[in-house]
């Protein structure tokens, strides 16, 4: 299947991306936008590079953990576009503190964005996908969802939680042809979070987020018999499928 044919496959799909203002979320939104999809982005921060997106792109200012506002956003999208085909949860925050220095507020802040925010968008949109008997949910995970990290109790707990949520959601959705996957970058990626967390050594080799967007494009159009209920390495998958998603 050539790039041009796949380009047509994305045309008029409705995509909701959280954490869209920068980093992976922005790169993924741009990749879908360039291929003719209707992209709806959610973030608490404005997009600095919005001029690089088409006139079809729609931005909503919202905290992902705000259930009522997220519900209203989805309601507006559905009223005009009838459905959401792909949900991509990219919104996330990170900070490092020892357990004794982690206040309840600190814990709640990270859990609310990374885990509760993911739960809320899935809670609102998964039932709509079930009803349509079609859809793809991609929840951004992390290496921290598989391995504990020093001074990362809150962050690791949130990402382990995303994995558990996603595995359970797959069980709910599998008979409705709704695909659920988690995805980890798989290589150092330059984002606002990594500027804060990466060592000097990692910053020497980090890559632009656009390099892993083929993986997100590929997962977005999977059927229940394709890649499903997996923890996907975006770097490895992107290397395998990138030639399919070149726009000619």
Report, as residue numbers or ranges, the catalytic residues: 155
Q: What is the 3-state secondary structure (H, E, C) of 102-123?
A: CCHHHHHHHHHHHHHHHHHHHH
Neighbouring residues of 209: CB distance < 8 A, sequence distance ≥ 6: 23, 24, 26, 27, 28, 189, 190, 191
Widest distance between CA atoms in the chain: 55
Alpha carbons 234 and 191: distance in angstroms, whole number = 15
Beta pairing partners, 38: 14
Q: Is 213 buried (19+), middle (13-18) or exposed (0-12) by CB count in 10 A?
A: buried
Alpha carbons 127 and 177: distance in angstroms, whole number = 12
Q: Please calculate the CA angle 141-146-147 and round it to the nearest 5 degrees.
A: 125
C-alpha atoms less than 13 angstroms from C-alpha of 188 in its C-beta half-sphere: 13
């Amino acid at each position: 299947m050539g790039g041009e044919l796949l380009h047509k496959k994305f045309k008029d799909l409705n995509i909701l991306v959280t954490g869209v203002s920068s980093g992976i979320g922005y790169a993924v939104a741009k990749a879908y936008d360039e291929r003719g999809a209707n992209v709806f982005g959610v973030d608490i921060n404005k997009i600095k590079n919005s001029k690089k997106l088409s006139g079809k792109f729609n931005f909503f200012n919202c905290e992902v953990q705000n259930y009522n506002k997220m519900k209203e956003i989805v309601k507006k999208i559905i009223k005009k576009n009838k459905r959401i085909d792909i949900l991509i949860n990219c919104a996330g925050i990170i900070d490092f503190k020892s357990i004794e220095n982690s206040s309840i507020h600190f814990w709640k802040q990270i859990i609310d964005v990374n885990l509760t925010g993911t739960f809320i968008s899935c809670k609102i949109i998964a039932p709509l996908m079930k009803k349509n008997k079609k859809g793809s949910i991609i929840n951004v995970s992390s290496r921290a969802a598989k391995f504990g990290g020093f001074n990362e109790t809150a962050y690791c707990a949130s990402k382990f939680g995303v994995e558990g949520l996603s595995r359970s959601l797959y069980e709910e959705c599998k008979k409705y042809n709704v695909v659920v996957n988690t995805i980890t970058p798989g290589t150092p990626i330059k984002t606002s979070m990594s500027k804060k967390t990466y060592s000097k050594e990692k910053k020497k080799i980090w890559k632009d987020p656009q390099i892993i967007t083929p993986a997100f494009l590929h997962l977005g159009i999977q059927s229940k018999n394709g890649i499903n209920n997996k923890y996907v390495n975006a770097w490895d998958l992107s290397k395998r499928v990138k030639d399919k998603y070149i726009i000619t």
